[in-house]
A and B are shown apart, each in its own frame.
Chain A
Amino acid sequence: MLNESSYSSVDDKALVQLAQKGDMLAFEELVARHRDKIYARAYSMMRNEEEAIDLSQEAWVKAWQRLVQFQGESSFATWLTRITINLCLDQIRKNKRQRSESIEEMDEESGGVERQMEPVTFNPTERLERGELRARIDEAMKKLSHEHRTVLVLCEFEEMEYKEIAKVMGCSIGTIMSRLFYARRRLAALLADLKRKDTP
């Protein structure tokens, strides 16, 4: 074990190796470094603070349990993000089983409307301060269904390919492409709407 203050100067790879030998302080340092990112990913998918906190914690606990299996094929952060995404997907499926689908969601699934929408010709996020942009995106993302938000998160934030997303979500590439298209177009329309509301 190192001195408590030394862990902050150690890189992720070395911390993982220490943690794999049972060094809890090394694992704590990994948590401190990546907790925001992991929470952010869970929040992007769930759009619920409490669920995101719970799921991100669960991801860390699972990471501890599976640490010996991590061989460094990707970065630790990437590996952990994938664990988080899978947990979020499980929770989304569980939530879906427990509630009946809203009419809006059924409309989204049946699709078609986004293909007939006129393109949004102005850039609704131009000249926005970063914080304001994030707030608008946050508001717009909340209005998407879980499935559409998930496919957007996996494509835009996780930078996964269509076939990877299809595998993770358990559906066809065609479905992924349709959902992604709907999600993007709906988001554009929502952002444009927010801009129009703000413009005097």
Chain B
Amino acid sequence: MMDQETQIKIQAFLDGELAENEARKITALIARDREAAALHAELKNTRRALAGAEQGITLPESRDFYWSKIRRQIEQLDQSSQLQSVPAAPSFWESVNRLLKPVSALAIVVLLGMMVFNLTGSDSGSDLLVASSDMDTITFRDDSDDTTFVWFADKPENDVANVGDDTTLN
């Protein structure tokens, strides 16, 4: 049986990691020694088997869903870095004034709108609001069939449906 060092050198030879003189010695060994040749062949077959092994692996999520999660994380990071550069808080009166100026303008517009256009109560907003204290949520929409998706994430197990326990689904 070959010693440990020789076996490792045969591997290194296959990987192109041996210096030239060592590589020549291993080449000669493989040529004359059946055991060395067999080990070299086995390592080479394994390499060949692994080549392209990753090609069949594809992401099991759709483009949109996968991207929506990445985008959301990026947006969260951008928001938190912006929050760190918030300017100094205005004085109390300044805050109150700032709040009420647009409100007074809005009040006038609303009243005018009511009188002139006789608006009914409908608003066309279809914004989704999601609140969850324990979970992260990801939302996206498929306009083609008026469907909104809300995914509750960041929890490996969820308490809504647990098939392992028969009683949960009855």
Contacts and interface: CB of A to CB of B under 8 A. Distances in A.
Contacts of B48: 125
A32 interface: yes
Summarize A's interface: helix, strand, loop or mixed. Answer: helix
Contacts of B24: none
A12 to B, nearest CB: 17
Contacts of A191: 46, 49
Contacts of B156: 50
A137 B71 contact: no
Interface string A147-181: 00000100111000110000000000000011011
Q: Which of A40, A138, A178 has the most CB of B within 10 A?
A: A40
Nearest to B2: A115
Interface in A54-79: 56-57, 60-61, 64-65
A31 B66 CA distance: 9
B17 A49 contact: no
Contacts of A36: 57-59
Contact of A32 (B41, B63, B73): B63
Interface residues of A, number: 50
Contacts of B162: none
Contacts, number: 114
A44 B54 contact: yes
B57 A188 contact: no
Q: Which of under 10, 10 to 19, 20 to 34, or 35 or more describes the interface residues of B? A: 35 or more
A121 interface: yes
A44 B57 contact: yes
A193 to B, nearest CB: 14
13 contacts: A31-B67, A37-B54, A43-B57, A49-B60, A53-B66, A61-B74, A115-B7, A119-B35, A131-B56, A134-B56, A177-B8, A191-B46, A191-B49
Interface of A: 24, 28, 31-32, 35-37, 39-41, 43-44, 49-50, 53, 56-57, 60-61, 64-65, 115-116, 119-121, 123-125, 130-131, 133-134, 137-138, 152, 155-157, 161-162, 177-178, 180-181, 184-185, 187-188, 191
Given A36-B58, A161-B17, 11 more contacts: A35-B59, A41-B54, A57-B70, A61-B74, A116-B1, A133-B53, A134-B53, A156-B47, A177-B12, A184-B43, A187-B49
